[in-house]
């Protein structure tokens, strides 16, 4: 007894709205390819966001940091942000006061994080360290945002932290980035991938 599977002809599939299996597979592959490319674009945009924050705070480009409050002119990027959080009645004020107390260490770690995460995301290399560090930085900024003014539960910092986690799990560095060559270069060192 032989069983055959009958597939509709392309004309019949068109009339009935059915998609031939091969066409469905091609469509799914194309969608997945474009989805990964889009994830690569989002990774690059987030990388530029981190890198821009570093440049603006270091040089005082006048967007969120005026020139007179830049690091090059003696300003502290963390004291202003965390100090404002303390003044607004943040429930984690004790943590922020401790971080301000150890400045300039906090500033150096914050700026190094912005630069390192930004470059890694832009290039698609070191994604494990970049996404975990970036998510941690976003989570700290999320906690420093309490009390929230626009949404009582979350803000964009939490969304970005979750997005970085998705980028790690989906291999975003491999798409429009140097993730694959980087992985070959550092093979055997899972932390640096």
Tell me the pLDDT tens digit for each residue of 75-128.
Answer: 999 998 899 899 988 999 999 999 999 999 999 999 999 999 999 999 999 999
Taking the model in full, what pTM does it have? 0.83
Q: Name the CA radius of gyration of the chain, rounded.
A: 23
| Angle subtended by helix axes 21-59 and 156-170, to nearest 10 | 130
SS3 178: coil
Q: How far apart are CA 144 and CA 53, in angstroms?
A: 17
Q: What is the dihedral of CA 23, 24, 30, 31, to 10 degrees?
A: 150
Q: How far apart are CA 177 and CA 43, in angstroms?
A: 9
State the pLDDT at residue 26: 65
| Residue 39 near residue 164 (C-beta atoms within 8 A) | no
Phi, psi of 70 (to 5 degrees): -70, 165
| Residue 64 near residue 84 (C-beta atoms within 8 A) | no
SS3 104: coil
* pLDDT, mean over the chain: 88
């Amino acid at each position: 007894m032989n069983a055959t599977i009958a597939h509709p002809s392309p004309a019949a599939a068109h009339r009935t709205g059915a998609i031939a299996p091969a066409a469905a597979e091609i469509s799914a592959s194309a969608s997945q390819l474009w989805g990964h490319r889009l994830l690569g674009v989002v990774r690059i945009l987030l990388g530029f966001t981190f890198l821009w924050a570093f440049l603006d705070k270091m040089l005082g480009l006048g967007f969120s940091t005026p020139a007179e409050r830049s690091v090059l002119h003696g300003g502290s990027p963390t004291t202003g942000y965390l100090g404002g959080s303390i003044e607004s009645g943040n429930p984690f004020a004790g943590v922020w006061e401790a971080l301000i107390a150890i400045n300039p260490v906090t500033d150096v770690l914050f700026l190094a994080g912005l630069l390192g995460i930004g470059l890694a995301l832009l290039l698609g290399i070191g994604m494990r360290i970049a996404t975990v560090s970036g998510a941690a930085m976003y989570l700290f900024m999320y906690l420093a945002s309490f009390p929230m003014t626009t949404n009582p539960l979350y803000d964009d910092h939490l969304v970005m932290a979750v997005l970085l986690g998705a980028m790690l799990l989906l291999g975003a560095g491999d798409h429009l980035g140097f993730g694959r060559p980087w992985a070959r270069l550092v093979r055997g060192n899972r932390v640096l991938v």
